Chain A
């Protein structure tokens, strides 16, 4: 469903991605691991379409279409969802309004009928249970005054409502205590089906105890230096990134 070839990207003249190749098929969970500054969040942002990153080379094909040619909202409507590392607080915009507006844009794009406020509420209530969130969340402004854990749960809740085909979780584990981590992971696992793909971007192996990946890729200095199965994450946990950084220098 997603094929990344030789992707190069820079921000403010600093090259961050230096030739990424990655293929994600439906039903697969891929973990992208790497030290700080390796470019793993940049990869997530480029996939979501953030404008500050300039793609200088390479291509990304999603469901046979040129992903890089699409505006962020088109990507969302086509089924891509990014769970933000730092979810944005939007004072004055009600969470329910925000999410229903997004959902209805996606539904329109898929040729489905828009949901009215009542139907949306019924759906939202169902999905809130998945991340053990209170209905009161819907009445609050988007992320405003939310704790770190609440923000991350809110991301997964949004993912549950929007039902993406490809979810990119950008350091969803950062800043979470173990209980919140379990809730978030459980939510992701329950949403994972043979039809959708998940890319988990993380610094730590910890999250992968709960969301078990099919593939692990080690990203260092803008390149994937090693790919393997879930055991690769365990090796990383033991030895750290140092050895791989040396590999990156050689490469």
Chain B
């Protein structure tokens, strides 16, 4: 604990500087939340491996770096050309670009939105119409027991704000592109996003976290999604930060009655990565699908913590997280399903909870590791909760079968690895995103194969 005191102080004094820059705006209700969050962070400090939720992920490397907090929009010399590799070819979408957490008007491009819909900078809406935000912002993502979420909440300033009004259908997806730079300077950013899909609306939102520079950066993002009654939200998060990057992100969705949410988290980049995905099914007949794919090699460390809360009856959750670990990489998966006590009433003769979770992992190297742990906490009857985790190498029988038909050994291995990944990548409904990710995954696998061959 003593060790991290200095590092904690660094963030506490950064907060003081941040407060001074806010001038008169520090009287807002939001600032009360920020103050509560920094106070909570001061109590919590950075987690250590003695904390249950961080047992297998040490954040010490993050706390050792003296990051400069990003304090405002600075384009850092970024051009559309440099961002081109991070776009989805052929995807017609509104694109909001954020540089180290701050909205870039010149790099962003908006398409026509349905009437009454909003997509833009959170800072702008906080300045112009805070009432649109306060009912939701920081109401869902819990920071009381999560130091990084507390830190993000304390530094709330900019990020994306998307609101789809009641009954509206967003035709083109919205792409939120968060760029972390590392141009000779280690920067910490805390992008904060809020996506509100009101009753009966439909929207697809893609978040990309990317790093065009080689170098150390620290992104600590929080995204809150509020899905109103019967809203349909498809969410994707693609993490392609630089190899040296630290990436910590919390996604929190709150679902109303009859809403359908799918969220897919794909993690390819970063050196030390931690994702927390929390979904609260807080209305009858809500459905959630949580999918994830992580592909790590070298010394990458990728931790996915998911937490599904079945609060109201007759909800369904489906979860498929798949991982491929090569080199000396390490993967962590913890899948928590929490079923709240539920009143039966007359009942519908239907399961109160229908939850299926699965976490298959493929290890391509003897030195790669995975730690996988389901955790079911059930305080209601008439539920179905199943989970399954597997850790394995490629199926020797399948390799032999392919070879017996003339396919070479290395090709057979690649076919099977690809098939393992495709099961989850094929769940991506936005074709240009799926195609792009398939290419990226193939490229990374190919690089891994060459590295193996070289050893």
Interface residues of A (CB under 8 A from B): 48-51, 71-73, 75-77, 81-82, 84, 87-88, 90-93, 98-99, 101-103, 105-106, 109, 141-142, 158, 162
Most buried by A among B404, B408, B422, B423: B404
User: B419–A101 contact, CB under 8 A?
Assistant: no
Residues on A with C-beta less than 8 A from B408 are 73, 105
Residues in chain A near residue B401, CB distance under 8 A: 84, 87-88, 90, 142
A48 to B402, CA, bound (A): 12
In whole angstroms, how far apart are the Cα atoms of A105 and B418 in the complex? 19
Output the least CB separation between B413 and chain A (Å). Answer: 12
A72 and B403 within 8 A (CB) = yes
Q: Residues of A contacting B409 with CB < 8 Å?
A: 71, 73
Residues of A with C-beta under 8 A to B402: 90, 98, 102
Residue among A93, A103, A158, A162 with the highest chain B CB neighbour number at 10 A: A93
Q: Is the beta-carbon distance between A76 and B419 smaller than 8 angstroms?
A: no
On whether the beta carbons of B419 and A102 are closer than 8 Å, the reply is: no
Decide if B422 touches A101 in the complex (CB within 8 Å).
no
- Are B400 and A51 interface neighbours, CB within 8 A? yes
Q: Is the CB of A158 within 8 A of B415?
A: no
* B403 pairs with A76, CB closer than 8 A: yes
Residue pairs across A and B with Cβ atoms less than 8 A apart, 13 shown, are A50-B400, A72-B400, A72-B404, A76-B403, A87-B401, A88-B401, A90-B398, A90-B402, A91-B419, A92-B419, A92-B423, A102-B402, A106-B406
Are A101 and B411 interface neighbours, CB within 8 A? yes
A103 & B404 in contact (Cβ 8 Å cutoff):
no
| Contact (Cβ within 8 A) A162 B406 | yes
Q: Tally inter-chain residue pairs, CB-CB below 8 A.
A: 75
Give complex CA distance A41, B340 in Å: 54
CB of A184, distance to nearest CB on chain B (Å)? 18
* B343 CB-CB contact with A under 8 Å: no
**B416 contacts the other chain (CB 8 A):** yes
Known contacts A51-B400, A72-B400, A92 near B422 by CB under 8 Å: yes
Which chain A positions have C-beta within 8 A of B415?
93, 98, 101
Quick check: A158 and B405 within 8 Å, CB to CB? yes
Closest residue of A by beta carbon distance from B419? A92
Closest to B412 in A: A73
Given pairs A87-B401, A93-B415, A101-B411, 10 additional interface contacts (CB within 8 A): A49-B403, A71-B409, A84-B404, A88-B395, A88-B400, A90-B398, A92-B420, A92-B423, A93-B416, A102-B407
| B421 → chain A closest CB, angstroms | 8
Asked if B404 and A90 sit within 8 Å, CB to CB, the answer is no
**A48: min CB distance to chain B, Å:** 5
The CA of A74 and the CA of B408, in the complex, are separated in Å by: 8
In the bound assembly, the distance between CA atoms of A106 and B404 in angstroms comes to: 11
Chain A to chain B: the 4 pairs with minimum beta-carbon distance, closest first: A92-B419, A102-B405, A105-B406, A76-B406
User: Known contacts A51-B400, A101-B411, A101-B415; is A91 also within 8 Å of B423 by CB?
Assistant: yes
Tell me what chain B mostly uses at the interface: helix, strand, loop, or mixed.
helix
Report B122-153 residues with CB < 8 Å from chain A CB.
Answer: none
* Residue from B406, B407, B411 having most chain A Cβ neighbours under 10 A: B406
Q: Which residues of chain B have C-beta atoms less than 8 A from A99's C-beta? A: 405
Residues of B37-72 whose CB lies within 8 A of A: none
Which partner residue on chain A sits nearest B408 by CB separation? Answer: A73
A51, A84, A102, A158: residue with the most chain B Cβ atoms closer than 10 Å: A102
Chain B, 365-419, CB within 8 A of any chain A CB: 395-398, 400-409, 411-412, 415-416, 418-419
User: Is there an interface contact between A90 and B416, defined as CB atoms closer than 8 Å?
Assistant: yes
- Give bound CA distance, A92 to B402, whole Å: 13
A73 to B409, CA, bound (A): 8
Give complex CA distance A73, B420 in Å: 22
Q: How far is the CB of A82 from chain B (nearest CB, A)?
A: 6
Contact B404 A49 (CB under 8 A): yes
Quick one: closest B residue to A90, CB to CB?
Answer: B398
- A107–B415 CA distance with the chains assembled, in angstroms: 19
Residues of B within 8 A of A109 (CB): 406
Q: Which residues of chain A are within 8 angstroms of B395 by Cβ–Cβ distance?
A: 88, 90
Q: Would you give the shortest CB distance from A45 to chain B, in whole angstroms?
A: 9
| Contact between A71 and B403, CB atoms less than 8 A apart | yes
* Shortest CB distance B425–A (Å): 10
Task: Output the least CB separation between A21 and chain B (Å).
Answer: 24
Question: What's the nearest-Cβ distance from chain B to residue A225, in Å?
Answer: 29
The CA of A229 and the CA of B396, in the complex, are separated in Å by: 38
A48 to B405, CA, bound (A): 10
Output the residue of B395, B407, B408 with the most chain A CB within 10 A: B407
Nearest-Cβ distance from residue B361 to partner chain A, whole angstroms: 15
Whole-angstrom distance between the alpha carbons of A50 and B401 in the complex?
A: 9
CA distance A76 to B400 in the complex (A): 11
Task: Determine if A76 and B398 form an interchain contact, defined as CB atoms under 8 angstroms apart.
Answer: no
Bound: A229/B258 CA distance, A:
71
Question: When the two chains form their complex, are residues A103 and B398 in contact, meaning their CB atoms are under 8 A apart?
Answer: no
With most chain A CB atoms within 10 A of its CB, the pick from B396, B415, B416 is B415
* Distance in angstroms between the alpha carbons of A97 and B398 in the assembled complex: 15
A73/B419 contact (C-beta < 8 A), A90-B398, A101-B411, A105-B408 known: no
In the assembled complex, the CB of B291 is this many whole angstroms from the nearest CB of chain A, namely 15
> Given A88-B401, A90-B402, do A105 and B419 touch, yes or no (CB 8 Å)?
no
Given A91-B423, A92-B419: A105 and B404 within 8 A (CB)?
no
- 0/1 per residue, B1-42, Cβ < 8 Å to A? 000000000000000000000000000000000000000000
- Are the C-beta atoms of B419 and A93 separated by less than 8 Å? yes
CA distance A81 to B396 in the complex (A): 18
